[in-house]
Amino acid sequence: MFELFNPRRSGRSVLAAGPNRWDWILLPLVLALIAGLAFGAMQMTRPFVVGQATPISLDPHYLPYYLLRTMLRMFTALACSLLFSFAFAAIAVKYRAAEKIMVPLLDILQSVPILGFQAIAIAPFILLFPGNLLGVECAAIFAIFTSQAWNMAFSLYQSMRTVPPELSEASRVFRQSGWQRFWRLELPFAMPGLLWNMMMSMSGGWFFLVAAEAISVAGQDIKLPGIGSYIAMAIEAENGRAIAWAIAAMLIGIMLYDQLFFRPLLAWADKFRFEESQGDSAQNSWLLDLGRRSRWIRALTDRFWGVLGGTLGWFSLREQTVAPTRRSDQRSKSLARVWDVLIIALSLFAVVQLVLFVHIDVGWSEALHVVGLGMITLARVLLLIALASLVWVPIAVWIGLRPQYSQRVQAVAQFLAAFPVNLMFPMVVYLLVTFKLNANIWLSPLMVFGTQWYILFNVVAGASTIPNELRLAADNLGLKGWLKWKRVYLPAVFPAYITGAITASGGSWNASIVAEYVTWGKTTLIADGLGSYIKQMTDAGDFHRIALGIGVMCVFVMLLNRFFWRKLYSLAEDRSR
């Protein structure tokens, strides 16, 4: 049931009445969170000089402290990713000219390996905060941001593009401005899918945590206190017991933020479901129930939304706008043509620079060799995404249609999605060496291990927003079996699936650097492919070939998205309308 906010309501009288018993129950939790944030923030701003030793202990007693530092980085990166998603989706949806640049640019960004972002970002952040650990912390947060932001931006963009036409018409009838339309229609409509992608982004941050916290710069190895550095040290020492402790700490951390952050958000977002009647069962959260019963928490949230609503102007209507004239239409078309010509010119310039780079710095034989490796990785990506889709789409639809079960598997799915592939190296190396298996075949599943969950989470979000009326109508019409899937479930989740498949595909390319080059102690297994090429060139310090490998990967991802996924994306948008 919708809870409409009254902007005239004040929390002064409620706060003056004093706390109730629910306030006293929540007080220790609030104080613990504030104390943890303050302590962690102080540790992040300690003095530091490049070259100074940053020892990491494998003693499990340090794991709570390492978990706190890691969680602070991940939530800071998540907040930055959310702001980036808001800006990206709003601009790309409302401005066609900007969309032509921003969507391909996002394709490039999600395909650039985290190692590539790190190499660019480390030095500027250290120079920005000289003599302080905050510079390295910002570099680590930026690296985690690059593993979180892209799928959230794609999810919000896809949802805003597929807002039902009757809701858009209602927005026009109420004369909402673009700002009001975003906050009152598009963002609430996209909220369920965005929240599930936020969970996936947190899991993606865990997946690349080792690369984010164990940093190499100017020949120096910097390991920030955190779970990622702990895992990196355990792998170097071949310490299986320490890896087991790290897995336990990850599980505890995921359960904490699932119960204290995501579960309340999902329960709160149930009111944004696009249907007229309440579903069979809804998400619930013990923390959200306590907050609603708490006198002070409820008063503070009411006051917060009142101030925010007044500041953003959510409740004021704008005057009727005058319809554009024919002259302004012609001017807009002329500007669009000029913009298209500019994009073509920039593309040609980039192609010329790429040709010169290949001809002068690396040679055409090396470029052809790298393209061949890219074809091998492309085949792996397409095959693995197809297999993952066959497995997870039916499971995700089943979970999304049953909220009571989705709450039970929510934390488990987040843990599996967060499980760093590095922790599987001991088992993988043992099996491949013992049974003398082909690395080109049996290392491939590692590429999709951490990215298949994008498909699961997006399809669960899509299935959970299927209106209850549509499901009841399908039952009344007697639709069963494959016919029901073909006519109801698959068309309903198709836009969400395409979003998940795009991000899973881009993530698989990124994960190929880890999956095609596996190291455990002194044993190294290498599979032919673009990922292993980039990893070997990174270890060798050959920056020209690193740039060549990353550039070829970006080209492959852009072409795949442009001529395959975008076609399906347009089909999903048309079908959803």
Report the DSSP pairing between strands 214-217 and 220-223: antiparallel
Q: Is the pLDDT confidence value at 323 over 60?
A: no
The pLDDT value recorded for residue 332 is 63
Q: What percent of the chain has pLDDT over 70?
A: 86
pLDDT at position 317 = 44
Q: What is the pLDDT of residues 212-234, one digit of tens each?
A: 887 765 556 788 999 989 988 88
The helix/strand/coil state of 513 is helix
Comparing CA positions, the residue from 56, 130, 270 lying closest to residue 138 is 130
pLDDT > 90: what percent of the chain?
18
pLDDT at 6: 46
Mean pLDDT of 30-52: 87
**Using an 8 Å Cβ cutoff, are 167 and 230 in contact?**
no
In angstroms, rounded to a whole number, what is the distance separating the alpha carbons of residues 452 and 391? 10
- Of how many residues is the chain composed? 577
pLDDT, average across residues 4-22: 57
Structure confidence by residue, pLDDT tens digits, 126-140: 888 888 889 889 988
Q: How far is Cα 298 from Cα 26, in angstroms, rounded to an integer? A: 12
Q: Is residue 147 a contact partner of residue 78, using CB atoms and an 8 Å limit? A: no
**pLDDT tens readout for residues 69-93:** 999 999 999 999 999 999 999 999 8
Residue showing tokens 């999810």? 155
The arithmetic mean of pLDDT across residues 344-349, rounded, is 82
Torsion of CA 121, 115, 85, 570, to 10 degrees: 140
Q: What pLDDT, in 10s, does the model give residues 419-470?
A: 777 677 778 888 888 888 898 888 888 888 878 888 988 898 888 888 888 8
What is the per-residue DSSP string for 300-356?
HHHHHHHHHHHHHTTTPPPPPPPPPPHHHHHHHHHHHHHHHHHHHHHHHHHHHHHHH
> Residue 112 to residues 79, 105, 549: CA-CA distances in angstroms?
21, 11, 10
Name the pLDDT band for 375 (thresholds 50, 70, 90).
very high
Helix (H, G, I), strand (E, B) or coil at 516: coil
- Give the separation between CA 567 and CA 234, rounded to whole angstroms: 44
Between 273 and 566, residue with greater pLDDT: 566
Q: What whole-number distance in Å separates Cα of residue 169 and Cα of residue 173?
A: 6
Beta-strand pair 523-526/517-520:
antiparallel
Closest to 41 measured CA to CA, from 90, 14, 75, 1: 75
pTM: 0.80
CB 488 within 8 A of CB 471: yes
Residue 481, pLDDT > 50, answer yes
pLDDT computed for residue 434 by the predictor: 85
The three-state secondary structure class of 518 is strand
Q: 110, 551, 557: which is closest to 350 by C-alpha?
A: 551
User: Distance between CA 201 and CA 187 in Å, rounded?
Assistant: 18
Q: Parallel, antiparallel, or unpaired: how do β-strands 523-526 and 220-223 relate?
A: unpaired
Tokens 């579903």 found at: 279
Q: What is the mean pLDDT of residues 232-259?
A: 88
Predicted local confidence at residue 311, as pLDDT: 59
Asked whether residue 519 carries a pLDDT value surpassing 90, the answer given is no
In the chain, what is the straight-line distance between the N-terminal and C-terminal CA atoms, in Å? 26
* Bridge partner list, 47: 132
What pLDDT does residue 318 have? 47
CB of 82 closer than 8 Å to CB of 198: yes
Residue 5 has φ and ψ, to the nearest 5°, of -90, 135
Residue 62 is given by DSSP the state G
Question: At 436, is the secondary structure helix, strand, or coil?
Answer: coil
The pLDDT, as a whole number, for residue 51 is: 72
φ/ψ (deg, to 5) at 315: -105, 5
pLDDT, the chain, mean: 81
